[in-house]
Amino acid sequence: MQQLIEEPNVLYACPVCRVPLYLQQSGKSFACQNQHNFDLAKEGYLNLLPVQDRHSKEPGDSKQMMIARREFLEAGFYEPMGKAVAMMVDAGITEGQGMRLLDLGCGEGYYSRIMARYCNHSEQIAFHGIDIAKFAIAAAAKKQPNARFAVASSKRLPYPGEYFDFVLRVFAPSDDDELRRVLKPSGYFLTVTPGPRHLWQLKEFIYSEVKEHASENPVPQGFEQSAAQRISYKITPNSRQRIALLQMTPFAWQANESIRQAISSVADFEIETDFILTLSVKTAVV
Ligand SMILES: C[S@@+](CC[C@H](N)C(=O)[O-])C[C@H]1O[C@@H](n2cnc3c(N)ncnc32)[C@H](O)[C@@H]1O
Ligand SMILES: [Zn+2]
């Protein structure tokens, strides 16, 4: 098992009032000086989502979506993209120096595990991940006990300013102000966004006229692009995996039962993947 670098001064900031959070004597919760309390779950993650930010009982992806995502990802279909992400993260590591990395909207933690496996110097990386979905974070923490996962919103990150060297965001939302706040000067931000033809053949089952995915601008204000890569390849998931993949997409809700039937029963179904990896570096405080 991979060794975690020492992080003696690991700190969270209270998501309510932003002052430091300290581990309490019981070892089971963190609290700030203003008595905001957050429990450590048995899986080792911290729930740092303040009650007022829990707009629904189950914010973020549902348990069913999380299970589908894990099943699909663990089958390796996105591993080539994951390896390319690891190579870009490697480029941000200075040999012999520790690095704190945050996976924003990390889901069930697939990319932290991929980086622990494929980064050249993964022993130098302290992995952190946040997601608003509790089930996903519990699943991530269970699989990677030496990483630090927290239930939190990207809109209010529970970390002090300039805490991270590297922030990763794969198909998840983020908040530009918070991103700039938690990244160190010259810190890196790596995004994975869908390329124009991502999952084209799956979309053909849903839309009468499939349109290319509109390109997003993955470089926030105060950042400069330092590298970009487009990765596309074909995958052939089986019937069950196709439905799991569908569940991961924003267009899943448009697929009724007969569309799902058609997707799972078609023979020899090849689907294009298309990913855009964009690495940018923080240049200024805006
Ligand atoms: C499409 S999934 C991607 C998950 C993961 N990055 C992956 O690729 O496997 C989007 C994730 O963002 C999370 N999410 C949605 N809104 C969020 C927010 N405001 N803060 C943190 N996470 C959020 C969802 O719960 C979900 O796990
Ligand atoms: Zn507080």
**CATH number of the CATH domain containing 175:** 3.40.50.150
pLDDT score of 51 more than 80 = no
Q: Is residue 129 part of a domain?
A: yes
> Roughly how many angstroms between the first and final C-alpha of the chain, as a whole number?
40
Task: Identify the band that residue 10 occupies on the pLDDT scale cut at 50, 70 and 90.
Answer: low
Average pLDDT taken over every residue of the chain: 91
Q: Which residues are close to ligand 2, an ion, with C-beta < 5 A?
A: 14, 16-17, 32, 34, 36
Task: Identify the band that residue 214 occupies on the pLDDT scale cut at 50, 70 and 90.
Answer: confident
Task: Identify the band that residue 205 occupies on the pLDDT scale cut at 50, 70 and 90.
Answer: very high
Q: Is residue 17 part of a domain?
A: no
CB 154 less than 6 A from any atom of ligand 1: yes
Domain range holding 262? 52-282
Token match 């799991």: residue? 244
For ligand 1, atom 12, name the residue with the nearest CA. Answer: 105
Phi and psi angles of residue 177, each rounded to the nearest 5 degrees, phi first: -65, -45
92 or 196, greater pLDDT = 196
CA distance 120 to 2: 12
pLDDT tens across 99-147, in order? 999 999 999 999 999 999 999 989 999 999 999 999 999 999 999 999 9
Task: Identify the band that residue 11 occupies on the pLDDT scale cut at 50, 70 and 90.
Answer: confident
pLDDT score of 6 more than 70 = no
Q: Is residue 159 part of a domain?
A: yes
Q: Which ligand is nearest the CA of 155, by number?
A: 1
pLDDT score of 53 more than 80 = no
CB 110 less than 6 A from any atom of ligand 1: yes
Q: Is residue 140 part of a domain?
A: yes
CB 107 less than 6 A from any atom of ligand 1: yes
pLDDT score of 1 more than 50 = no
Which of 81, 131, 179 maximizes ligand 1 atoms within 8 Å of its Cβ, making it the mutation to test the pocket? Answer: 131
pLDDT score of 78 more than 70 = yes
Task: Provide the number of structural domains found in the chain.
Answer: 1
Q: Is residue 239 part of a domain?
A: yes
Q: Is residue 258 part of a domain?
A: yes
pLDDT score of 250 more than 90 = no
Considering the chain, what percentage of its residues have pLDDT values greater than 90?
77
Considering the chain, what percentage of its residues have pLDDT values greater than 70?
94
Task: Please check whether residue 170 is in contact with residue 192, taking contact to mean a CB–CB distance below 8 angstroms.
Answer: yes
pLDDT tens across 12-32, in order? 999 999 999 988 888 889 999
CA distance 12 to 102: 13
The closest of 13, 8, 10 to 160, measured between CA atoms, is 13
CA distance 132 to 53: 10
Max Cα-Cα span within the chain: 61
Give me the pLDDT at residue 3, please: 42
Q: Is residue 44 part of a domain?
A: no
Across the beta sheet with 99-104, what order do the strands follow?
A: 46-47, 148-151, 125-131, 99-104, 164-170, 183-194, 271-282, 223-235
Angle subtended by helix axes 239-248 and 257-265, to nearest 10? 130
CA distance 116 to 86: 9
Q: For strand 99-104 and strand 46-47, is the pairing parallel, antiparallel, or unpaired?
A: unpaired
Which of 61, 85, 115, 155 maximizes ligand 1 atoms within 8 Å of its Cβ, making it the mutation to test the pocket? Answer: 61
For ligand 1, atom 24, name the residue with the nearest CA. Answer: 60
pLDDT tens across 262-279, in order? 999 999 899 999 999 999
Task: Please check whether residue 268 is in contact with residue 236, taking contact to mean a CB–CB distance below 8 angstroms.
Answer: yes
The closest of 88, 150, 151 to 114, measured between CA atoms, is 88
Distinct helix (H) and strand (E) counts, the chain: 8, 12
Task: Provide the 8-state DSSP code for 48.
Answer: -
Q: Is residue 33 part of a domain?
A: no
Task: Identify the band that residue 2 occupies on the pLDDT scale cut at 50, 70 and 90.
Answer: very low
Other beta carbons less than 10 A from residue 87's beta carbon? 14
